[in-house]
Amino acid sequence: MSTATSMPILTCSLVLLTSSFLINFANGGSFTDDIRISWGNGRGKILDNGKILTLSLDQYSGSGFESTHEYLYGRLDVQIKLVAGNSAGTVTTFYLSSKGPAHDEIDFEFLGNVTGEPYTLHTNVFAQGKGDREQQFHLWFDPTKDFHTYSILWNPQHVIFLVDNIPIRDFKNHESRGVFFPKKQPMRLYSSLWNADDWATQGGLVKTDWAQAPFTAYYRNFNANACVWNGRSSSCSSADKPMGSTPSSSTKGDWYRHELDSYSYRRMRWVQRKYMVYNYCADIKRSPRGRPRECRLR
């Protein structure tokens, strides 16, 4: 199938799948059981009996929340409506991280911009303290107009980033080929809204306009279908079946063995061709001796 033919069809598929996924999430979870506001001195709020969470940023402080549990593998979904208007200098995050200098981390970061310019969706994967695996995207919708679902699917073979259930990135386990993969350290979920105007917008050229403060991001429908870590082991009873997982819209166990089928892979590659704006694998200045090993493997 030619590119000229496939792109409109895939565009239509993205729209239809996005709409159906948002509808399926309409009756989703609460923030009261699995999430706590971790910092911000009142700038983070849980509202409407746990259905809505807001994070705010002003010239004095940002704010953030974290999960009450640590996880060793899982699928974690949340709907976010990002800071509207002139959001330059602000960063909204949704990520998993362990502790320590050799930590693991899986990042969604949303880099704000001046009014009318697109957000940059920044993704990264750290394993045993090694990161520098950034891929960045512009989105096919305005993420400030409505809630959209952002998901991290993390299992022993894949870290898959999804937007409205559409895969945009798949970081595969190539440990057998000498590439570190996050698989041994339990991670907690974090989210924050903070000022990063030294780098976030056009490399720090555009600063935060504090006259627009407070900046606010909105969250709803957090779901964690995951292996909960209890300090010594996880709630997964075996290598292939999670038990004791918290509720999710997906079937228990599906995410643990999930990998992209050919159709999902084609959708991901289309998103990458059309909307990716930075790929560390193609950054010759960063890697003058050749692409990182994982970029040469399939």
Q: Give per-residue pLDDT as tens, 27-60.
A: 346 799 899 999 999 999 999 999 999 999 999 9
Could you say which of 66, 70, 109, 294 is catalytic? 109
Q: Tell the burial category of 220 from Cβ atoms under 10 Å away from its Cβ (0-12, 13-18, 19+).
A: buried
Distance CA 291, CA 266 (A): 23
The answer to whether the predicted template modeling score (pTM) of the entire model surpasses 0.85 is yes
For residue 105, indicate whether it is catalytic. Answer: yes
Q: What is the pLDDT of residue 233?
A: 84
Give the domain extent around 151. 3-296
Q: How far is it, in rounded angstroms, from Cα 245 to Cα 252?
A: 8
Q: Is the pLDDT of residue 242 over 90?
A: no
Average pLDDT over residues 263-271: 97
Whole-number Å distance between alpha carbons of 29 and 209: 34
Q: In this predicted model, what pLDDT tens digit does every residue of 150-194 receive, in sequence order?
A: 999 999 999 999 999 999 999 999 999 999 999 999 999 999 999
294 is catalytic: no
Whether the predicted pLDDT of 250 surpasses 60: no
Q: Is 216 helix (H, G, I), strand (E, B) or coil?
A: strand
Active-site hit among 66, 70, 105, 294? 105
Query: Chain-centre distance of CA 57, in angstroms?
Result: 20
User: Taking Cα atoms as reference points, which of 53, 46, 54, 50 lies closest to residue 29?
Assistant: 50
DSSP 114-167: STTSPPEEEEEEEBTTB----EEE--SS-TTTS-EEEEEEE-SSEEEEEETTEE
Residue 103 is part of a domain; what is its CATH number?
2.60.120.200
- Percent of the chain past pLDDT 70, that is, above it, reads 85
In the chain, the number of structural domains is 1
| pLDDT tens profile 64-104 | 999 999 999 999 999 999 999 999 999 999 999 999 999 99
